[in-house]
Structure 1
Amino acid sequence: MTDKTMTLITELTNIPSPTGQTREVITFIHDTLSTYGYQPARDNKGGLTVAVQGKNNQQQRYITAHIDTLGAMVRAIKPDGRLKIDLVGGFRFNSIEGEYCTIHTQSGKTITGTILMHQTSVHVYKDAGTAERNQENMEVRLDEKTFSKEETEKLGIQVGDFISFEPRTCLTDSGFIKSRHLDDKVSAAILMRFLMTYAKDQTELPYTTYFYFSNNEEIGYGGNANIPKEVVEYLAVDMGAMGDDQQTDEHSVSICVKDASGPYHLGLRNHFVQLCEQNHIPYQLDIYPYYGSDASAAMRAGADVKHGLIGAGIDASHAFERTHTDSVKATSNLVTAYLYSQLSI
């Protein structure tokens, strides 16, 4: 199962999908799952729902993963033809310094470039190492012959064009996967893989379950609408945050007990722990201090559900991320155990 999941992760990370421009990746998921007999439905915001009928249709579950990623937009075209950028999502300019990128023009044409400090050359700029990494100092150097605003405009580039970052997805012999946008395409791949397996096995779920691929999570309102009134449990599958004072690692599934929105439902959290212990799934409990999820967005919107959050442990979140097949497997196993379990108490 893990090999196919890793293939899906690679396919997903290589489809550009900054928040606001997610149609291509949603179409990929739609078309892939349609071949397995599902009838995925798009909502008005562009997200995708796959409904799976279960034994109990009076009490239902809702599980999400988001496919939108960090990215940028063209903020302005500078007099020398280079681009000023505006960030999409919560990350820092220093995390994209030196990254290859693609500008997606209104006409559909794409143009490549590199994100750099204006004061990059140490042979010219005394403050190359000390200048602040911010909107004023960072720019996109286009891979085109352009030396003026007018020449760049003739390429078809304009304010508001989306900018995606090169993922550089790499699988190592030691079992690591490193890439941009593992948040949250690891989880999307896990849900897709579950649905592919379910279509072949046809082992009926105990509860009707909605699988939602959300496309606005990075800006705070991914999975907060279109939740049927019969839904009683809501699980967001997203990344587990690693760092100082964190227990999350790259070899287990992370169960979030609290993030910036507050505590997650205690009964559902305890249910995840019990499932991990019963099924010998390595896990960690953790608090993510500067974090929000589809589930927390649903709670802010007023959803009357038990909400939970689990995910693979991912290092260097919102930068050049990494996880291990161990963590992907543990998360997949907990998702499967949960979906076949009885409701939490």
Structure 2
Amino acid sequence: MPVIDLDYLRDILEELLRCPSPTGYTDEIAHRVCKEMDRMGVPYQLTRRGAIRARIKGEASKPARAMVSHLDTLGAQVKSLKDNGRLELVPIGHWSARFAEGGRVILFSERGAYSGTVLPLKASGHTYNNGVDDMPVGWDYVELRVDAYAKTAGDLEKLGIEIGDFVAFHPQPEFLDNGYIVSRHLDNKAGVALMLASMKALVDSGRKPTVDVYWLFTIAEEIGHGATSILTPEIASLVAIDNGTTAPGQNSDEFGVTMSMADQTGPFDYHLTQKLVHLCKEYNIKVRKDIFRFYRSDAASAVEAGADVRTALATFGVDASHGYERIHMHALRSLAELCVCYALSPVEIARDAREFASIKGFTHQPTEEADQDLVPEVSEPDELSADAQS
């Protein structure tokens, strides 16, 4: 298996994190990713709005495979210019104002960029005493203070700040010596970085994929659009690369690959998901399974848009997703390795090369009873306890 360049993975992730890209303001990160593919010699195309479709040619063109991650992140927009010289905000994407409070930001106006801080309406303990702690959590209870002279709404207008201006939150990344990475926007800059690292490993190895592999980078996943208009008819399988939800009650982990079996839109494709799990086991990549209840991905948007593709969601476990997130390099390396293994793996469902075909060659799912001879024996206690008997 081609080796993942971990130094490259770390460096490109750090670069991506420092490139602001809230949904709707993604032009610059599209330029950065395209520059990286130019360097690797991988051909690509852009949609009108900047989603990217790159292709590494395989031994055959069909049934093509695709992997997808999103360039856009959470952020905010200016809702109104307030009389006190502060700015009301509305979120881009679904995230709590709890994680916006205290955040350092960049506001992009037509005249230029301004730095600032998101503060609760009652920010000073010396002024409000316990009132600071009694403030509710919500976007109605925070405001943006720009680092420029602004004591009235008129002052903000003179600065060129307008309703609708985009606000990007500083990621504040930390790369620790023990392999942990802490930052905002690891969802999904980390997915983009590991996809680029897997592309690099494949190109550097000189090995040709089994079939054409498309590497897709979308620009509006955080608001639900995702991979709605970037697929080609040749693509039969789509693997979304995104974050897993490491938290109590979940089975995701910050180490290895976490395969999502379903999210809020329903189950992922049985055969594609099982193939990825089996590849992990074959190549000794740590893997576990999980189900995400309040989650949707690029794969869901593609299917909802009418794409007849098999879908799967392969993730790296993230702690505190949509907040100050934490991952471990082990998960990023593991998922990058899986991407390479998948690109080089044989096609098992040849019928997928055609959009419509007869029943011949159509897949089966196991329905037979389990072989009891393969099930380990469970010893029974000689006698029941008094509590059990009652």
Q: Same fold (TM over 0.5)?
A: yes
Question: Does 2:316 align with 1:312?
Answer: yes
Report the counterpart of residue 363 of structure 2 in structure 1: none
Q: Could you tell me the TM-score, scaled by structure 2's length?
A: 0.86
Q: Within 5 Å, which residues of 2 pair with 1:30-45?
A: 30-45=34-49
Match of 2:233 among 229, 233, 236: 229
What secondary structure does 1:295 align onto?
A: helix
Report the counterpart of residue 190 of structure 1 in structure 2: 194
Report the counterpart of residue 147 of structure 2 in structure 1: 143
What secondary structure does 1:129 align onto?
A: helix
Report the counterpart of residue 117 of structure 2 in structure 1: 114
Instruction: Please give the alpha-carbon distance, in whole angstroms, between the structure 1 residues aligned to 2:156 and 2:41.
Output: 46
Match of 1:90 among 90, 94, 99: 94
Amino acid at match of 2:283: N
Offset at 1:318?
A: 0.3
What secondary structure does 2:280 align onto?
A: helix
Instruction: Please give the alpha-carbon distance, in whole angstroms, between the structure 1 residues aligned to 2:340 and 2:42.
Output: 18
Unaligned runs of 5+ in 1: none
Report the counterpart of residue 293 of structure 1 in structure 2: 297
Offset at 1:190?
A: 1.0
Report the counterpart of residue 183 of structure 2 in structure 1: 179
Match of 1:154 among 146, 151, 158: 158
Report the counterpart of residue 333 of structure 1 in structure 2: 337
Report the counterpart of residue 67 of structure 1 in structure 2: 71
Instruction: Please give the alpha-carbon distance, in whole angstroms, between the structure 1 residues aligned to 2:243 and 2:23.
Output: 17
Instruction: Please give the alpha-carbon distance, in whole angstroms, between the structure 2 residues aligned to 1:343 and 1:134.
Output: 49
Question: Does 2:106 align with 1:102?
Answer: yes
Report the counterpart of residue 283 of structure 2 in structure 1: 279
Offset at 1:144?
A: 1.1
Match of 2:24 among 10, 20, 24: 20
CA contact (8 A) 1:252 1:281 kept: yes
What secondary structure does 1:311 align onto?
A: strand
Bigger Rg, structure 1 or 2: 2
Instruction: Please give the alpha-carbon distance, in whole angstroms, between the structure 2 residues aligned to 1:15 and 1:253.
Output: 26
Report the counterpart of residue 242 of structure 1 in structure 2: 246
Q: Percent identity of the aligned residues? A: 31
CA contact (8 A) 2:210 2:347 kept: no
Comparing 143-152 with 30-39, which one deviates more in the overlay?
A: 30-39
What secondary structure does 1:35 align onto?
A: helix
**Displaced runs of 4 or more, over 4 A:** none
Instruction: Please give the alpha-carbon distance, in whole angstroms, between the structure 2 residues aligned to 1:295 and 1:271.
Output: 17
Instruction: Please give the alpha-carbon distance, in whole angstroms, between the structure 1 residues aligned to 2:252 and 2:140.
Output: 36
CA contact (8 A) 1:271 1:344 kept: no
Comparing 212-221 with 33-42, which one deviates more in the overlay?
A: 33-42
Amino acid at match of 1:44: R
Report the counterpart of residue 123 of structure 1 in structure 2: 126
CA contact (8 A) 1:111 1:142 kept: yes
Match of 1:78 among 77, 82, 85: 82
Amino acid at match of 2:33: I
What secondary structure does 1:196 align onto?
A: helix
